[in-house]
Amino acid sequence: MTLGPIVRIAPNELSFSSPYAAREVLAAGKGFHKTDFYSVFPPAENPDIFTETNEHAHGLKKRYSSNAYSMASMQSLSGYIEDTQRLLMSKLDLKCQSREHICDLGDFLHFFAFDVLGEIAFSRKFGFLESGYDIENAIKTIDDVQWYDGIIGQIPEWDFVFRRNPLAKFMPSMDPSKTLITRMALEELDKRKKFGEKVIDRKDLLSQLMAANEKAPETFKEGDVFAIAHGAM
């Protein structure tokens, strides 16, 4: 079926297929603000750069963290990314030598991407490549949450019926606080708060966000540090 260039997909929502229209809508400074779609993405109590819908607050968070995301910062971490590449190649070599095993390249690319992100954000791998599987179903959990957020984001009020329902804490699968990635993020944050920046010898995402927080604790709060570093995953 072929539809026209503008499709009404909800009572008050139009979908545009033209890339020109997209540029008009997404252009900076045109006043098109984010919708409440983003409200379902965790953490609700402290939005990160992606989920912040208040333009002013978004601008502040972005300003204080932009340095951490710069090309120069990425370049400075390239040794650790290469290290992860080496691990990927050695694991693939090993997997492909044995005829009994099926090696799913897609899975390993996923493990690689997460371990690279771990290095960039927290200076440690999550261990997916090393173990060769999705530890504690951490990646699958993220996929499931994305699936849920994508649908419920269209009708954000329903989030209070499902996930934000006070009864949800009795359902372990609905509790987002215990995933491997969240635990590791909290661990790193605690460790550095306790022992100072010195425990880390490089400028990863977390250390740069913590430095920004130290400089302007009133505007760029500690909650922002965790939310943004965690949100990066």
Taking CB under 8 A as the criterion, the residue among 57, 60, 92, 113 binding another protein is 113
Rounded Cα distance between 146 and 131, Å, is 24
Q: Which residues contact 34 (CB under 8 A, 6 or more apart)?
A: 52, 53, 58
Please check whether residue 117 is in contact with residue 232, taking contact to mean a CB–CB distance below 8 angstroms: yes
Which lies closer to another protein via its Cβ, residue 60 or residue 168? 60
Site string for another protein, 46-75 (x = CB under 8 A): ---xx----x--xx--x--xx--xxx-xxx
Please check whether residue 122 is in contact with residue 68, taking contact to mean a CB–CB distance below 8 angstroms: no
Does 76 engage in binding with another protein (CB under 8 A)? no
Which lies closer to another protein via its Cβ, residue 151 or residue 199? 151
Does 25 engage in binding with another protein (CB under 8 A)? yes
Does 203 engage in binding with another protein (CB under 8 A)? no
For helices 105-122 and 138-152, the axis angle rounded to 10 degrees is: 90
Q: Which residues contact 189 (CB under 8 A, 6 or more apart)?
A: 206, 225, 226, 229
Rounded Cα distance between 220 and 212, Å, is 7
Question: In the complex, what is the shortest distance from the CB of residue 47 to another protein, in angstroms, rounded to a whole number?
Answer: 13
Three-state DSSP at 152 gives: helix
Which lies closer to another protein via its Cβ, residue 24 or residue 175? 24
Question: In the complex, what is the shortest distance from the CB of residue 196 to another protein, in angstroms, rounded to a whole number?
Answer: 26
Q: Which residues contact 58 (CB under 8 A, 6 or more apart)?
A: 34, 49, 52
Which lies closer to another protein via its Cβ, residue 19 or residue 172? 19
Which range binds another protein by CB under 8 A, 20-28, 162-170, 171-179, 183-191?
20-28
Please give the residue ranges that form the binding site for another protein (CB under 8 A).
5-6, 9-10, 12-35, 37, 49-50, 55, 58-59, 62, 65-66, 69-71, 73-75, 78, 81-82, 85, 105-106, 109-110, 112-113, 116, 120, 150, 153, 232
